[in-house]
Structure 1
């Protein structure tokens, strides 16, 4: 077979090697970006006024007591030395001790991270299909009533900040109707129904924000493909419009759509600070806020690195999907 069709025998390995090369470049770029981010995070967190020693001892502590505690915490070491030690601990999955809680940062994060992942998972299950349906429907019916209504709805959703959505949700569903709790109490002993009910308002707020952004980007990606020449050619050949959308437009729009989903979903971990604070949700974002308040640098830096790593991982997955879905890369 290879002798009968030598062109296919040559193209397949070349296409596979190109894909592997592109994926490797994206992965290397992500790792380099994460290294640069670690330097920025460590430097900026060190510029915050005050320190954990002063916050722990209080304002009545003497300078000698503060200096002694700073030495015990290792805060008096040179910045480059502390960065190398901290980075080595990050690479070993051991970011050190919390300066305030006096316990391993890894244990503190392990207690909060599942809650944030659960909140992001609930939101993604609802928001992604809804946003895709809205974006595709608006693109297919662009210029019509459906497009105008959906565009107006998404513009309105984008214009409303999440803290206002959360506040209105509490006023309506908690205070007025008494349907949902205003505080998200998450416990490992709670049943699935109680957990869903407790997370309903935070999920609703995050879905409201994420759907608007993702739907608009999905609409733009679909319209760009609907305006392509191959769509007009398929219509001239008599191919049904639904088949064109499903079998031609959607596969070519997967890359931009996945990128839109990755950018929107990255907000669920790093951008949920306001939502977690309003609903007192025990997640990673609220933990980071507490670390900033207490000047707990190892905890703050670890939370920031998790958010950055999650964002880069989502973007990397989106890039890989875009590469694999591009027929020119497989040629």
Structure 2
């Protein structure tokens, strides 16, 4: 078997095992939370018999390990369960499938993440390449200081600064990113501009500095010196010779930051009241809607693992020693 194929299969197996471990941690963490959903819904005045009957209706009376295997089995068939929201002691069940709650919110989060990636990734690559090209110049130092400044601020602080300057003092963009199914594409882009800009300012420094460091590290290689002796220009050396060999670390940091765009948008979604999956998870934690919390956490974990697997595979494929084994 070719080394690349065996390495990819090993990474996929490791990813599935990691996802299994994460699912156990998610379920166990929710089990260890204080309080009880039945008591929180029925109130303190409810009798013990009423709480017991309500827990039995929800399936919370079963042992934890049985509920875990039932949950995992349902997830493997595409069933994320039924939301606890809408259930009441009166017996009227207005709950909805978790998939119906998560799907539109996940689409909103992926739209915001995709819009941010379209801005942040090309910008980070451009700044990283040009900073390496003009290393130690005023431009290089300015870019480094600016990106380090933006990354040192918390997301909510950057968000409030953008709201202050671009929505209040100079009303260029709307301060709230409230979108729904009826929002047109143009309005959706306009309303998600400030959240996307906030995320861009937060993540662009990681990708820019990794791109710059990877290229500068390769500039001391013998084949780069040979290209210089042959009369190649500095920009040609970086773009044609250094950049292709720097894709492995660059792809890794891009994958980490793309995973953050999906996993770490909770604060940004809350600040801008954006109806994404992060906001849904916060609301579900508040109402103790366990199936929704489990689904959101599993989606976050799966996204992070998948993007890291993609980064590993790109790093493997771009490795000449694996592409051309002896």
Shorter-chain TM range is over 0.9
Q: Which residue of 1 aligns with 2:137?
A: 144
Q: Are the structure 2 counterparts of residues 55 and 218 from structure 1 closer, same or farther at C-alpha, using a change threshold of 3 Å? A: farther
Q: How far did 1:234 drift?
A: 2.0
Q: Which residue of 2 aligns with 1:242?
A: 235
Counterpart CA distance in 2 for 1:224 and 1:57 is 63
Q: How far did 1:238 drift?
A: 2.4
Q: Are the structure 2 counterparts of residues 178 and 63 from structure 1 closer, same or farther at C-alpha, using a change threshold of 3 Å? A: farther
Runs (4 or more) in structure 1 with deviation over 4 Å come to none
Q: CA RMSD in A?
A: 1.3
Q: Which residue of 2 aligns with 1:91?
A: 76
Counterpart CA distance in 1 for 2:317 and 2:38 is 51
Counterpart CA distance in 2 for 1:235 and 1:61 is 81
Q: Which residue of 2 aligns with 1:73?
A: 58
Q: How far did 1:142 drift?
A: 1.7
Cα deviation, 1:69-118, whole Å, max 9, x if unaligned, reads 11111112111101000000111110211112421111111121110110
Q: Which residue of 2 aligns with 1:55?
A: 40
Q: Which residue of 1 aligns with 2:163?
A: 170
Q: Are the structure 2 counterparts of residues 175 and 62 from structure 1 closer, same or farther at C-alpha, using a change threshold of 3 Å? A: farther
Instruction: State the number of aligned residues.
Output: 316
Q: Which residue of 1 aligns with 2:273?
A: 280
SS of 2:246's equivalent in the other structure is: helix
Contact persistence 1:50–1:295 (CA under 8 A): no
Q: How far did 1:45 drift?
A: 1.3
Counterpart CA distance in 1 for 2:260 and 2:167 is 25
Contact persistence 1:225–1:249 (CA under 8 A): yes
SS of 2:70's equivalent in the other structure is: helix
TM-score w.r.t. the length of structure 1 is 0.92
Q: Which residue of 1 aligns with 2:104?
A: 111
1:223 maps onto 2:223 in alignment: no
Contact persistence 1:52–1:100 (CA under 8 A): no
TM-score w.r.t. the length of structure 2 is 0.93
Which residue among 299, 307, 312 is the counterpart of 1:314? Answer: 307
Contact persistence 2:125–2:208 (CA under 8 A): yes
Counterpart CA distance in 2 for 1:246 and 1:301 is 45
Contact persistence 1:186–1:282 (CA under 8 A): yes
1:30 maps onto 2:15 in alignment: yes
Higher RCO (CA-CA < 8 Å; seq separation 6+) = 1
Which residue among 292, 299, 307 is the counterpart of 1:299? Answer: 292
Counterpart CA distance in 2 for 1:195 and 1:309 is 26
Counterpart CA distance in 1 for 2:290 and 2:182 is 31
